[in-house]
Amino acid sequence: MKRFYGTELPNPLMLGTAQYPSPAILEQAFRDSGAGVATVSLRREAGAGQTFWQMIRDLSVLILPNTAGCHTVKEAVTTAHMAREVFDTKWIKLELIGHTDSLQPDVFQLVEAARILTEDGFQVFPYTTDDLVVGERLLGAGCEVLMPWGAPIGSGRGLNNEYALRAMRAEFPDLPLVIDAGVGLPSHAAHAMELGYDAVLLNTAVARAGDPAAMARAMVLAVQAGQLAHQADPIEARDMAEPSTPVVGKAFLS
């Protein structure tokens, strides 16, 4: 697995910490999945207090604070600085929303905010679109990871634009890439890994499932299966059938 700012993840699943029915169920989902990264909103942590923060610490996972809900560069940068003080990490998941309904990133402000934060010593994980030009701009701004969306946040639609995601993987073969947002089923997560992505970040699909812990287990098995399938160099799809049993040398009876 590729390293994320010099850190190797224990497995390719990153989990969010919002919307769970209870703290106990959140904790069980993390333990059952073995996810090594927890994304935490500064707003959520501030509202939940020390009990929530202590529970996250007890999970012994890497913390990826995010700037969820930010709509301007100033708001995102301020939130990132507060998160660095609270969570004592240089990592920041940079979310900068530009469209209310789709929660699509404002890629123009995203690049600006990424540049400001990297110059200030942050290690930025940008939530972005699958646009190659935007990806190049984010790398130019100092990002060493890209996190393109699979589909709108919380939609559960899976990978809306497989062509664009394949193109991004081909364009940046050595860069850590994470599918962030839109995953609803384990099959979606497996597909992302089969395309050669390095990790999957999700929240709603687990937190809002009827049994979050069971779904968390399913998701980690899916990302591991997809990763293994990609490494195994799968066959290409064909338009025509190809016999699995050779016919050369076979006797024909009339």
Annotated binding residues, as ranges?
A: 154, 181-182, 203-204
For residue 174, which of 144, 142, 149 has the smallest C-alpha distance? 144
Active site residues: 93
Residues 6+ apart with CB under 8 A from 109: 72, 73, 76, 96, 98
Please state, in angstroms and rounded to a whole number, the distance separating the CA atoms of residues 12 and 177.
11
DSSP assignment of 216-240 equals: HHHHHHHHHHHHHHHHT-PPPP-SS
Known binding residues for 1-deoxy-D-xylulose 5-phosphate: 154, 181-182, 203-204
Q: Token pair 């990153």 is at which residue?
A: 14
Sheet holding 199-202, edge to edge: 147-148, 123-128, 91-94, 62-66, 37-41, 13-16, 199-202, 178-180
